[in-house]
A and B are shown apart, each in its own frame.
Chain A
Amino acid sequence: MTCAPPNNPNTALQLDAHGRLRHFLTLDGLSRAHLIDILDRAEGFLGIARQAIKKVPLCRGKIIANLFFENSTRTRTTFELAAKRLSADVLNLNVNTSATAKGETLLDTLRNLEAMHVDMFVVRHADSGAAHFIARHTAAHVSVINAGDGRHSHPTQGMLDMFTIRQHKGDFTRLKVAIVGDVLHSRVARSQITALTTLGVEDVRIIAPRTLIPAHAEATFGVTVYHDLRAGVRDVDVVIMLRLQRERMDGGFIPSEQEYFRLFGLTEKRLATAKPDAIVMHPGPINRGVEMDSRVADGPRSVILEQVSNGLAVRMAIMSLCIGAHNFNMNQQDAADE
């Protein structure tokens, strides 16, 4: 697969010479073929949940370290479970509470884990660019998967959302998708927008007050900005709600939860202008009564729990792709050395 856009530095960092995924840091720079390939492979992993023994031996003997510099039990659990279903050995490190507090630098932590022959880092960090930094500085035998970096990127979440959309809607090209909420601070939104546009969705809308829309969003992302929820969700096939962090509700970006819900909270009534078969998604955890009404969250159009189970298959696919590419390259290297 050599169809990645040229001159994108992400391409050189993420892909090897054969176009295989070495690291999975961002969707920016991956081609449509790459994304489709990931979705197709994830289909295969769905079946594992039906096995009596919910485990395949793909990554047997591999060590996967969950490096969480930012607490997130939910995300860490899905990565941990995905790794375990691939038969890998999993190390969980909450780094903010241990090493770095003692003055050890991030690079020191990495070097220590590399010396333990870790094969993959799954990284969650509060700083945008942290996964890129780690990928640039890690040893050649380690793959890095971004499990969320600052406001930048959360590519596995983006892919599992695409997987869920494809399950319900099939073809992407004719879809209208609305993303509602705090796009400014959302790594999830950035990954979703990149994935949707790469997969050929021409009508992507972001809906929020101006304080939560990043600068030049339309020109940067090729989306349409709406400030009115009802107009924004008209005729859409998919509504993606974003999480509004508590700390944004204190008056700095929006005046209050109440006003936000009044204007941008998703209710059944407001959803009425969307297509009758529109699905509603949310990366979780939901602030009920702020982002959406419980009747929508638990209603027939909600696919929120499917997102969770799909997340496992998608993460298994991505992890095994990276480890597989890595195995291949190490063998090539050995062959070249002989």
Chain B
Amino acid sequence: MTNMTDAVNHSVWQDAAAVTAALATMASDLKQLCATRGINTPLMVGIHTGGVLVAERLHQALALAEPLGHLDISFYRDDFTRIGLHPQVRPSYLPVPIDDRAIILVDDVLQTGRTLRAALNVLFDYGRPASVLLAILVERDGRELPIEPNVVGIRARLATGEQIKLTGADPLVLTKLVAE
């Protein structure tokens, strides 16, 4: 329930065509990676909310058999003690048991790495996967934890105060927000 009181300047950063192109790259990289690692039936899981949007596209592109899973990380965020409970909590949904499965974890933007840390914790409270691959649409600077993606759509270096936000579901567009 925090108010965004600062004036924010929105501008389109990557349009629908650029996002679609990045997703295509990711799909083909993932396919190759799975082949290399000998992963036949991966289980794809998107992180609420942007990660689910990206995962839906990749899931379709890879024509995966298992339904898509999604994770809500609100209960695992490390800023609960500072800002309280996140207002919109959706239940996590994992369609099949994850024990001994190869997981492809998908998110829209990787910056500090804290979301991924929380997502891994959620995942492990559901079971013990055989492996986890990380697919990220936008990998930017600002890492605070040792987390590296396996597959990346777009790499970016941004100024402090600049934020990337994915909006969708159709078309998917990346917007840059600059706090003034």
Contacts and interface: CB of A to CB of B under 8 A. Distances in A.
Check whether chain A touches chain B (CB < 8 angstroms): yes
Interface of A: 1, 18, 20, 37, 40-41, 43-48, 50-53, 55-58, 320-321, 324-325, 327-328, 331
Interface stretch (B84-92, B144-152, B165-173): B84-92
B126 A324 contact: no
Nearest to A62: B81
Contacts of B85: 41, 58, 320-321, 324
B82 A46 contact: no
A48 B125 CA distance: 9
A116 B141 CA distance: 43
B35 interface: no
B7 to A, nearest CB: 22
Interface residues of B, number: 25
B92 A47 contact: yes
Given A52-B126, A56-B76, A47 B84 contact: no
Given A41-B89, A57-B121, A331-B81, 4 more contacts: A44-B90, A52-B126, A320-B85, A327-B81
Contact of B91 (A47, A325, A328): A47
Given A52-B125, A52-B127, A55-B125, A324 B92 contact: no
B121 A44 contact: no
A58 B82 contact: no
Interface of B: 1, 72, 74-76, 80-85, 87-94, 99, 121, 124-127
A46 B91 contact: yes
A148 to B, nearest CB: 24
Nearest to A52: B127
Q: Which 9 A-B pairs have the closest CB atoms?
A: A324-B84, A44-B89, A47-B91, A56-B75, A324-B85, A53-B125, A328-B84, A51-B125, A327-B81
Given A46-B91, A57-B121, A1 B74 contact: no
Contacts of A18: 1
A55 B74 CA distance: 13
